[in-house]
Chain A
Amino acid sequence: MMHWGSWSAFFSMGGYAFYVWFSFGITAVSLFIEVIALRNRRSEAIRLSRLLAQN
């Protein structure tokens, strides 16, 4: 850590831990959910296309 004295100083974000980590956290979670949702949509689309093609 460049200018953080310790890991605990880093995690506490100068008293703004909740706001800073919530912001970065919700961003990461949203992107993750979108990727997973798309993965499910894709496998469903492939499953139906295959079903239609092979019958």
Chain B
Amino acid sequence: MHINWFKYSSPQTFYPLAGKMIPWFYGLAVLFALAGLYVSFALAPTDFQQGEAYRIIFVHVPAAWMSMFIYIVMAGWAAFGLALNARLSAMMAQALAPTGAMFTFLALVTGSLWGKPMWGTWWVWDARLTSELILLFLYLGFIALQSAIDDPRRSDRAGAVLALVGVVNVPIIYFSVKWWNTLHQGSTISMTAAPKMVTIMLLGMLFMALAFWMYSIAVALVRVRCIILERERSTEWVKNLFGEEK
């Protein structure tokens, strides 16, 4: 099947398409969350070292994955918008930032709630925790910078530069547990070695990660539709969309 992707690259054609996709992604998010919670609490066994406290992993790790993944996608859209001067790409980057910031915040808070009973402290300035905190500041900086500049084209460009510079932080977060001696444990799942964990625990994390992923797509689409309306309010197509229904 041939799809003309360029047709959907304008806010005008993307707006109704996004509207149709949102309920599907919300639905998938709910299904994966139910499966993930069932595995997390009903199927996954008690950890022999950490008891029941380890169950925090089922929100902590997926939230941390999303915090990094969303940043990379956001920077990708920002770069695309910068290179091609594409309005919609810049809007997508803008739509992802608050959700990415939220998952970064959740990774930090749930990590803290896990650190207290296991390490005896809410916070340490080790490389993993510090670089994740920097990620939160990068998201907040991106949001603040974009909202501080009134002209949308200029604010898109400034935001894109910040997002791209900040990308270096993502591999630092990911490899921090290897490069430095951290209190934070090493990767549970490696792309090169067999997972060091029970399959059912892995499945729980996978379902929760998929739930967060689908949720992120859904809310980013809702937000990009808001941004489209806010920015293109005075264009003909928005006026036609809302003018008819008197």
Contact = CB atoms under 8 A, between A and B. Distances in A.
Interface string B229-246: 110011000111111011
| Range for the number of chain B residues in contact with chain A | 35 or more
Interface residues of A, number: 30
Contact of A50 (B110, B225, B242): B242
A9 B196 CA distance: 28
B229 A2 contact: no
Contacts, number: 95
Contacts of A10: 41
B114 A19 contact: yes
Contact of A42 (B225, B233, B239): B225
B242 A45 contact: no
Nearest to A44: B226
Main secondary structure of the interface of A (DSSP, over half): helix
Contact of B55 (A13, A27, A34, A48): A13
Interface in A15-50: 15-16, 19-20, 22-24, 26-27, 30-31, 34-35, 38, 41-42, 45-46, 48-50
A23 B59 contact: yes
Interface of B: 41-43, 45-46, 51-53, 55-56, 59-60, 63, 98-99, 102, 105-106, 109-110, 113-114, 116-117, 215, 219, 222-223, 225-226, 229-230, 233-234, 238-243, 245-246
